[in-house]
Structure 1
Amino acid sequence: MISSWRRLRAVRRAQKVVLMVGSSEQEEAATSDQTELLTIPSHFRCPISLDLMKDPVTLSTGITYDRESIEKWIESGNRTCPVTKQPLTIRSLDVGPICIPNHAIRRMIQDWCVENHSFGIERIPTPRIPVSPMDASDILNNIASTSSRGDRQGCVQSLAKLKSLIRESERNKRCFVTHGAGTALSSAFKDFSNSSSSSSLLHESNVFVFEEILSVLPSMFPLNEDARSQLGSPAAMHCMVSLMRSGGLSARRNSVLALKEIVSSSDSSRRNQVEALAAIDGALEAIYELIKEPICPTATKASLVITYHMTTLTHPTHAKERIITRFVEMGLVNLLVETLIDADKSICEKALGVLNGICNTELGIHTAYDNSLVIAILVKKLLRVSDLATEFSVSILWKLLTTRKSRINENDEGVDQALAEVLQVGGFQKLLLLLQVGCSERTKEKTSELLKLLNLHRERLERLECIDSQDYKDLKRPFL
């Protein structure tokens, strides 16, 4: 297979002339230029990708490849040279293949690009040498040593080198991750946090170094247990909350991403870290503001994940109720309902998860009842977003209807009105269809209870039902 370069610039020039002159001869010239092809010399093409090599390197087998292609080959688990099929040594697999830059071929390719510049071919830049494991270790050691002795300027300089190298290539980033960049950065953040003021305001001299560390740290996710432990220290979380409240947009975004990484861990310390975060003055307000005034979708999702863990983890009862009560007082329920109106799939799932957690308390249920849109939106999300969103929607409806009705001794007109609204917007048919297409056992139980409750009111309110059968024309039915 022979790859070719089209004479792009010649075609563009010819097309411009056609537009200006409008002659049939120029049109024919443009057509002929467009079909004229320039063949890449075979020894300039990578044997793997068959494209022009940008960074030619030679293996010990004597075959030259493009660096990106051969590294992907090795990372995929291959242990032989793609062309010769000769096995690669174990030493080459520890730090990647033994790739010797082929400067002669690279210069020949660059000269060829310059010679064919008129055909629209741009000269490939001289590639940078990838960072070595020794260089990566030296930079990380410098970050650790400068942070331990409080040398802000020295730490920022090392961070600048780290940022520059990981931006150059994905390979450099993987090299730093492999050599413990996440732990080194988390430890540095903790060291400077311990030297900051314990008040809600950060020490001004440390703000810049905090922002620099957090600007690199998300690139190292997911963190290991040691890194999460250091980043989840009380002093470090205080600093991140302060940055979320008074920092710039990037600092607020990176802070909430770091907090999400801490509370989303699967180790045994997660509960303690979530409770410690919730106990920090201004933490709940800062997270709420990021949902209310979004910076970017990533920050919004991270804020919702943190809120979900705060409202659903097994806290002591009084601690969970305190957290939910504060969120409800700030207006989180109404904010979530507004967010659900036109949210994408990911945000919708997370917002429903938070609303489901809030409805674990009586205050949350009453507040949700007061929102006139909640029933219609929950029914709308059934079978439309994802299986997870459907499960959350069923759970919230179940809590709003059956749980509340069981807590009062006499008939509740509010529950009757809610049942009528569910029937009116087609909730009965959707729930019935959910049982047919299948769902989890827990969701099936809640759906069945809802259907029994709705069926009692169905005869009286049958005329209010409305549903468009076209809504389900593309729905897959695995039971057929």
Structure 2
Amino acid sequence: MGMEVELPDDFRCPISLEVMTDPVILPSGHTFDRASIQRWLNSGNLTCPVTNLPLSPSPSLIPNHALRSLISSFLAQRPTAIDAAADNRDALLLAPLSFPSDAPTLAAVLRLAQRGGPNSRRLVADSGAASVLFRHAAAPDPPDLQDLSLRTLLHLTLDGDDARLGLVAEGALDPVVAALRGGPAAALAATLLTSLAVVDVNKATIGAHPAAIPLLAALLRYGDGRERREAATALYELCKFAENRRRTVRAGALLPLVRLTREGSERAVRVLGLLAKCREGKEEMRKLIGFINVLSEVLRAGSPRGIEHALLVLNYLCSDSREMAFTAIKEGILDLCSVLAGDMNPNIGKNAMELVLRLEKEQFGGYS
């Protein structure tokens, strides 16, 4: 009875890494906890998190009753004494944690946050370990300690909105933003910002930080492939809050987002769709030479989600600008939209038809 009973990996959701309470099967054949996969889909993702293969716009979630029954039976038989012993062991691990720490200790804390489940993550959060993690997260030297600390903090955010709010309230923002300044941890810091920004209050707090959005914009301009992708993802989450759109435009993120769009980044197009909703965003887009051409290429060869957001941007740009509408017609967008108006995706069809009507109004008489 002194040995710990290991939970089978198949019992854990591939997204949250927690034991599933309501397992459901995607059309891809993989099983996820309903709450986790629903958040994934609600965030606009249309791929399977495991295979990265495309999904339909509203994929069915089939309850996995057999797995749910197996998990319930297993947990009912799991000895509670072993759980208590594990909690005591975890507390002993965290008790001597202090700054500066070392790689083996922080690696052990990371494993606890990764595999210990919600109780272990709360134990890490409540133990005072966060202050040690913050200090190492802000310090690029040594890089392995910074990486371990950021990864641990990222796993602590998996416990939901209260955990995300708590980390920001305890002072996570300054060290995470500091880690954006460059080096091997920059992409990881951007990922952590994305997770923290899921909470609406945190969107406003992060956006108001004087360096957060400017440093994400700098990553878009000068970062490597992964850093640019993670920066675009963070900005997409942040720009769901209206004031952050203006901040993003002022930080100079527009041009590198257009470059990413030209390279085929769906996430960059989605950020542009949010930026086009604000006056500053539209004004800057209209100044960019060749921008309409970039959007036309998305309509020709982009993903369904990319096409949908490119159409949104075009509708915003052409809604009150004859010059933009005329340029769009010259780029062949009217013909493209005439085809897309019949698309099976209702969002694409609706946005394309709206654009057709706008451009035809310009072509056959102009704006009143």
Aligned to 1:94: 78
Aligned to 1:422: 328
Q: Give a deviation string over 1:135-159, Cα, whole Å, max 9, x none.
A: 7534542454345xxx225686532
1:180 maps to which of 120, 133, 138: 120
Aligned-pair CA distance for 1:219: 5.4
Q: In the alignment, is the contact (CA less than 8 A) between 1:240 and 1:255 conserved in 2? A: yes
Paired letter, 1:231: L
Q: Give a deviation string over 1:444-469, Cα, whole Å, max 9, x none.
A: 55433321232245479xxxxxxxxx
369 and 143 in structure 1: CA distance in 2 versus 1, 3 angstrom threshold: farther
2:284 maps to which of 361, 367, 370: 367
1:279 maps to which of 181, 203, 208: 208
Distance in 2, matches of 1:229 and 1:243, equals: 19
Q: Give a deviation string over 1:345-385, Cα, whole Å, max 9, x none.
A: xxx22211211222222221121111122111212212633
2:367 is aligned with 1:438 = no
2:197 is aligned with 1:263 = yes
Aligned to 2:91: 141
Aligned to 1:77: 67
Q: Aligned residue pairs: how many?
A: 306
1:191 maps to which of 117, 120, 131: 131
Distance in 2, matches of 1:135 and 1:153, equals: 28
RMSD between aligned alpha carbons? 4.0
2:262 is aligned with 1:341 = yes
339 and 452 in structure 1: CA distance in 2 versus 1, 3 angstrom threshold: same
Paired letter, 1:308: Y
276 and 140 in structure 1: CA distance in 2 versus 1, 3 angstrom threshold: farther
Q: In the alignment, is the contact (CA less than 8 A) between 1:375 and 1:421 conserved in 2? A: yes
Paired letter, 1:353: R
Aligned to 2:105: 158
138 and 429 in structure 1: CA distance in 2 versus 1, 3 angstrom threshold: farther
1:376 maps to which of 293, 300, 318: 293
Same amino acid, percent of matched pairs: 14
Q: In the alignment, is the contact (CA less than 8 A) between 2:187 and 2:231 conserved in 1? A: no
**Greater RCO between the two (CA within 8 Å, min separation 6)?**
2
Q: Where do 1:17-416 residues align within 5 Å?
A: 71=8, 77=67, 93-94=77-78, 133=83, 136-138=86-88, 140-142=90-92, 144-147=94-97, 151-152=98-99, 157-162=104-109, 166=111, 175-181=115-121, 184=124, 188=128, 190-192=130-132, 211-218=147-154, 222-233=158-169, 235-245=171-181, 248-249=183-184, 251-264=185-198, 270-297=199-226, 299-313=227-241, 315=242, 320=243, 323-343=244-264, 348-382=265-299, 384-402=301-319, 404-405=320-321, 415-416=322-323
Aligned-pair CA distance for 1:423: 2.5
2:340 is aligned with 1:455 = no
Paired letter, 1:293: Y
Distance in 2, matches of 1:189 and 1:352, equals: 39
Q: In the alignment, is the contact (CA less than 8 A) between 2:177 and 2:211 conserved in 1? A: yes
Q: In the alignment, is the contact (CA less than 8 A) between 1:143 and 1:184 conserved in 2? A: no
Aligned to 2:15: none
Distance in 1, matches of 2:219 and 2:123, equals: 27
Q: In the alignment, is the contact (CA less than 8 A) between 2:337 and 2:356 conserved in 1? A: yes
Q: In the alignment, is the contact (CA less than 8 A) between 1:278 and 1:310 conserved in 2? A: yes
Aligned-pair CA distance for 1:233: 2.2
Q: Which moved more, 1:377-386 or 1:176-185?
A: 176-185
1:419 counterpart SS class: helix
Aligned to 1:118: none
Distance in 1, matches of 2:138 and 2:149, equals: 15
**Structure 1 residues without counterparts, runs of 5 or longer:** 1-66, 81-87, 97-131, 167-171, 265-269, 406-414, 461-480
Distance in 2, matches of 1:280 and 1:286, equals: 11
Q: Give a deviation string over 1:102-134, Cα, whole Å, max 9, x none.
A: xxxxxxxxxxxxxxxxxxxxxxxxxxxxxx756
Q: In the alignment, is the contact (CA less than 8 A) between 2:118 and 2:159 conserved in 1? A: no
Q: Give a deviation string over 1:221-270, Cα, whole Å, max 9, x none.
A: 63333422222226211111112226x31x32322221111112xxxxx2
Distance in 1, matches of 2:130 and 2:305, equals: 36
Q: Which moved more, 1:287-296 or 1:323-332?
A: 323-332
**TM-score of the aligned structures, taking structure 2 as reference length:** 0.68
Distance in 2, matches of 1:339 and 1:205, equals: 30
Paired letter, 1:181: R
Q: In the alignment, is the contact (CA less than 8 A) between 1:185 and 1:217 conserved in 2? A: no
Distance in 1, matches of 2:127 and 2:220, equals: 29
**Structure 2 residues without counterparts, runs of 5 or longer:** 13-65
Distance in 2, matches of 1:260 and 1:336, equals: 17
Distance in 1, matches of 2:215 and 2:246, equals: 16
Paired letter, 2:78: D
